[in-house]
Copies of this chain bind each other. A is one copy, B any other.
Amino acid sequence: MDATLTDGVVRAGSDARERFYDARGYGRPVGGDLALAPVEAAHLLYRGDLDSVDGMGFRAFLASAAVPETAVLVYKDLRDRGFYLSPARERWVADRDTTGPVDFVVYPRGKGPWDDDVAYRVAVVGEREPVSAADLGEVVVAVVDEESEITYLETDRPTVSGSSGVALPDGVAGDLLADRVFCWGPPASLYERGFYGQRLDEQGGDVLQLSLVEAAYLARRGALAVEGGPGAVVERGREVEGDRFDRRLRAYTALRGRGVVPKTGFKFGADFRTYAGVESVADLGHSEWLVRVLAAGHAFAPRDLALDVRLAHGVRKEMVFALVEGADDADEDQHGGADGDRTGDTDGGVEWLSVGRLTP
């Protein structure tokens, strides 16, 4: 069976409609004929169901660049997994599915374009194409790596919610060192219930080491007294980390405000690991999230995403990205007066994006 390609649409006759659309969910009926997207035609050529498009077989059709090979590979993989799917083109699928970065609408197994159900909305990217964080949250990203293996990444917009919290002390003395603060004689609860800092002496002692982000947060709330005030700590943070410090402080503040304890994620190569229900440090569960803090306009290299998601999976945590709007410091004026650290604030310009592996 032969078909023709015009303006990005492959046309075949009523016979094709019956064989490919009615029986197996390829294409879109137009009058009595069948319209196929190039990716669908490529798959039919590969299978030998279609003999040619404008005289081209599978090899020539691919070489003609009528369709990117990444789309062909993902389409084939999803078909091989038993799914019917449609290209996310206008009139091919519902209007809601043609906006955003969606390439394919995948139907639940056993369903097809005749039904209303959608299993996945899939965006196809090559491993070298940057992926904008703003585009993620609802789609499944199918990354085709350089050796044509496909990794599916599920994205979501989780909510932050926890039950951790502690009453904060008033103006505990601290010394700002090169890139941390040593805090002298704080109430035991600051560490033991609030999980702020790290003791210098594991057996107890009176020195609590705070990271700059912890110290900035506590100083702003009046819980820590450092020479130069909160501003000196923030200034030091910016010196050693640049803009990243402000973003991290915003994310830290948003998490604490929601009852979630952020601790360093350094050992996992992340900004934070988080605990949603700290009753006491002596009785600490596993941390649930790994958080990487990014500017809201960030574009991911798919390989970096693969690295983070793989690592998080390996340590049984969820990979979450904190996307921080703007460079200005919305939290500047919130210090002082709080009884505890759970302010119930809004997230102050921080959005949350989770990314995980998916086997369709």
Q: Which residues of A contact B (CB under 8 A)?
A: 46, 59, 62-63, 65, 68-70, 76, 126-128, 143, 145-149, 151, 175, 177-180, 182, 184, 197-198, 200, 209, 211-214, 240-241, 263-264, 266-270, 302-304, 306-308, 310-311, 314-315
The answer to whether residues A146 and B180 also contact, given A175-B59, A266-B127, A314-B314 and a CB cut-off of 8 A, is: yes
B269 touches A304 (CB 8 A): yes
With A266-B303, A267-B149 known as contacts, the answer to whether A62 contacts B177 (CB < 8 A) is yes
CB-CB under 8 A from A148, the residues of chain B are 180, 198, 200, 209, 211
Chain B residues whose C-beta falls within 8 Å of the C-beta of A240 in the assembled complex: 128
Chain B residue contacts of A143, Cβ below 8 A: 266
State the main secondary structure of chain A at its contact with B.
mixed
Chain B proximity of A297: nearest CB distance (Å): 21
Give the docked Cα–Cα distance between A200 and B270 (Å).
Answer: 36
CB contacts (< 8 Å) of A69 on chain B: these are 177-178, 180, 182
Nearest Cβ on chain B to A321's Cβ, whole angstroms: 14
Option from B62, B65, B197, B264 in Cβ contact (under 8 Å) with A145? B264
* CB <8 Å contact, A175 and B310: no
The 4 A-B pairs with the shortest beta carbon distances in the complex, nearest first, are A269-B307, A145-B266, A146-B211, A314-B314
Which listed residue, B63, B175, B184, B269, touches A303 by the CB 8 Å rule?
B269
Is B179 a contact partner of A268 (Cβ separation < 8 A)? no
**Contact: A212 with B146, CB < 8 Å?**
yes
- Give Cα A311 to B270, complex, Å: 12
| Nearest B residue to A313, CB-CB | B314
Q: Could you say which residues of chain B place their CB within 8 Å of the CB of A62?
A: 175, 177, 182
In the assembled complex, the Cα of A315 lies from the Cα of B179 at a distance in Å of: 33
Contact B306 A268 (CB under 8 A): yes
User: Please, how many angstroms separate the alpha-carbon atoms of A154 and B318 in the complex?
Assistant: 28
With beta carbons under 8 angstroms apart, the residue of B151, B179, B315 that contacts A266 is B151
**26 pairs across A/B with beta carbons < 8 Å?**
A59-B182, A63-B177, A65-B177, A69-B180, A70-B178, A126-B179, A128-B240, A143-B266, A145-B264, A145-B266, A145-B267, A146-B179, A146-B212, A147-B211, A147-B214, A147-B263, A147-B264, A149-B264, A149-B267, A266-B302, A266-B303, A267-B306, A268-B306, A269-B307, A269-B308, A311-B311
A242 (CB) vs chain B CBs: closest residue: B128
**Chain B hits for A179, CB < 8 A:** 126, 128, 146
| Most B Cβ at <10 Å: residue of A147, A178, A209 | A147
Residues A310 and B268 in contact, CB atoms below 8 Å apart: yes
What residues of B have a CB within 8 angstroms of the CB of A70 in the complex? 178
Are A198 and B314 within 8 A (Cβ)? Answer: no
Among B182, B241, B306, the residue within 8 A (CB) of A269 is: B306
| Distance of A39 from chain B, by nearest CB (Å) | 14
Q: Is the CB of A147 within 8 A of B197?
A: yes
A286 to chain B, nearest CB (A): 15
